[in-house]
Each structure stands twice: as structure tokens, then as C-alpha cells.
Amino acid sequence: MNSKKLNVVVWGENVHEHTNEVVGRLYPEGMHATIAEALRELGPELEVGTATLQEDECGLTEERLANTDVLTWWGHCAHGDVPDEIVDRVQKRVLEGMGLIVLHSGHYSKIFKRMMGTTCSLTWREAGEKERLWVCNPGHPIAQGVDKYIELEQTEMYGEPFGIPAPDEQVFVSWFEGGEVFRSGCCWNRGNGKIFYFRPGHETYPIYYDKNVRRVLINAVRWAAPQGSIWKDEAPNIPIEDAPEKIEKCGDSLHAAGEEGFK
């Protein structure tokens, strides 16, 4: 596992960078380019590529995903433009073991809602207010190199209730100047895949240039990397003669011998 580079794909919706002057000025090459650059700088052991909504198959072909260890996801205004079959494909790979890092407004992406099974709703306000992300677990790999908290001078606010399943691990909780709180760094295991949601990232502020945010991104990518073999989705019939204990058929059946199950 050590000899091979970890393949990371940074996915970006890449729309506001071209339609909003502020975003275009902050991220002239696109937010995905800035995130990818941060990962390359901090993780020389990674092989980092990018993919965007505008590419064929969103840049996420079966073959490319098959070779991706960790995928990061930023989207906002065009969640609905990601075809369902791409979402199916990403979900399948996460369940097989690919790590998934969902960023900021990606909370409403099809893939995050698919993995969570919940609304992923929240409250929000765009006032350029201060956010302070507190570390809830100082020994968690994703919090390494971060002090007691991360302070961001200007952010969009996201507030509770956040419509997610109870996180397996809570890494950050945010305080906002305007009076709200938010579970801003959450971990889940799903199938073989590890999922991390990280709140910062509003496109009108230079969030992805912040050194603490970049530290969390590289930590999260390393944490989410697959640690075991692939778990394929299949529901194999175990023929009676292959039962670990010797048994004989009795009673009525629905399926003829050798028939596949319904799916």
C-alpha cells in the first residue's frame, strides 16, 4: 500500500467562477484548481487531478473512478445538472472503498444526500461574519496540526438543525458571530468508504487559501484513503451444497436452483 501513490480527484462545479465577478477574481482557475494545488503542495505522496461539471461524464468515467482513491466534491448552483448515473457511479465506488470529502455547499449535492439518506438541510446567512471551528477531538487524524480552533474572518453562516444521520465521529463544531452553531466537521463510514463533510468554503471569500483549511483538507484526504480491499455489491446465492454446514433442502422454494435473486 505504501509503494503506490494515492490517486485523488478534486471535483468542482466550476460555474460561479465564470458567472460571478467576485468568485472569478478569487479563483481565476476555478476553486478545484486551488484545492488541487493545496493538496499537491502538502501531499507530495499524492497524485492529484481535477474534474468538472463541464467535462464529458463530469470528468468521472467508470475507468477514472475505478482508479480514484479519494474524491473531493464542491458544488453549489448546479447540483441538479449532475446526471443521476454519475451519482450512482460515485456512490458505488464509495461503497467499494473510495474516500469522499464533501465541501461546504456540497451538503446539498446529489451524492451527499444519496450517501446520507437524509435532507442535509440547514439554515444559512451570507453576511461575511466570523466563524470559529472548534476541535472536538484533538487526537483525531483530521485535526492534526490544527490548534484549539480555526478562525475564519469572513464566512457564510450555516446553522443547526443540520439534517444528517448522527456522525460516527465529530471533529469540528462551529461558532458564528451572528449567534448560530453548526456541526462543521463530521465523519461517517458507509460500506467500505469513509466520508468527511467539511463546512468552510463559500466561494465569495478566499477560504481555500487559508492555511488551516488546507491542513484539514490534506488530513481528510489521507484519513479517507481506502485501507482494505474492495467490497463489491453483489448478493450471491449460496447453493445448498456450498452451505458451510451440511443441510438438505426442505419446504417450498421460489427460485429454481442457480437462479439469481431479485434486485
Is residue 183 close enough to count as binding a copy of itself by CB under 8 A?
yes
With contacts defined by CB under 8 A, name the span among 27-35, 36-44, 66-74, 112-120 that binds a copy of itself. 112-120
Q: Does 63 bind a copy of itself (CB under 8 A)?
A: no
Contacting a copy of itself (CB under 8 A), which of 67, 119, 147, 209? 119
Q: Which stretch binds a copy of itself (CB under 8 A): 4-12, 52-60, 64-72, 249-257?
A: 249-257
Residue 8 or residue 171: which is nearer to a copy of itself going by CB? 171
Q: Does 24 bind a copy of itself (CB under 8 A)?
A: no
Q: Does 231 bind a copy of itself (CB under 8 A)?
A: yes
Exactly one of 55, 81, 88, 160 binds a copy of itself (CB under 8 A); which one? 160
The grid coordinates listed for 26 are 478569487
List of E strands, 35-92: 46-52, 70-74
Cα distance between residue 122 and residue 24, in whole Å: 26
Secondary structure letter of residue 35 according to DSSP: H
Residue 189 grid coordinates? 463510514
Q: Is 54 in the site for a copy of itself (CB under 8 A)?
A: no
Exactly one of 176, 196, 198, 208 binds a copy of itself (CB under 8 A); which one?
176
Q: 474516500: which residue's cell?
A: 99
Q: Which is nearer to a copy of itself, 143 or 213 (CB)?
A: 143
Place of cell 439554515: 123
Q: How far is the CB of 41 from a copy of itself (least distance, A)?
A: 20
Q: Per rule CB under 8 A, is residue 262 in the interface with a copy of itself?
A: yes
Of 17, 21, 50, whose CA–CA distance to 33 is shortest?
Answer: 50
Which residues are CB-contacts of 76 (< 8 A; sequence separation ≥ 6)? 13, 15, 16, 104, 105, 106, 203
Q: Which of 37, 61, 64, 190 binds a copy of itself (CB under 8 A)?
A: 190
- 86 Cβ contact partners less than 8 Å away, ≥ 6 residues apart: 57, 58, 60
